Amino acid sequence: MAERPLDVIHKSLDTDVLVILKKGFEFRGRLIGYDIHLNIVLANAQLVEGGEVTKQYGKIVIRGDNVLAISPVESE
């Protein structure tokens, strides 16, 4: 049986992910929560611009209707 999108996201809980937003912003952090609307909670979030971290955040919530893609990243 094929995996559903939320099943794939659930497997990424407590791992580092890259969240790409529709406006072109990229955030990297540990995925600690999500809901059916794809609202995302990241811990130790970082704003990434041009492949470089430009700003550090603590815990952030990203509204689901802004999310374009979520990708796993390798821990540094």
Tens digit of each residue's pLDDT (9 = 90 or more) over 19-40:
999 999 999 999 999 999 999 9
Q: Over the range 38-62, which residues count as b (16 or more CB within 10 Å of their CB) and which as e?
A: bebbbeebbbbeeeeeeeeeeebeb
Q: Which CATH architecture has domain 5-72?
A: Roll (2.30)
The pLDDT tens digits of the residues spanning 36-70 come to 999 999 999 999 999 899 999 999 999 999 999 99
Decide the pairing of beta strands 52-56 and 67-72: unpaired
pLDDT at 76 over 60: no
Which pair of tokens denotes residue 51? 């492949």
What single letter denotes the amino acid at residue 58?
G
Res 8: pLDDT: 86
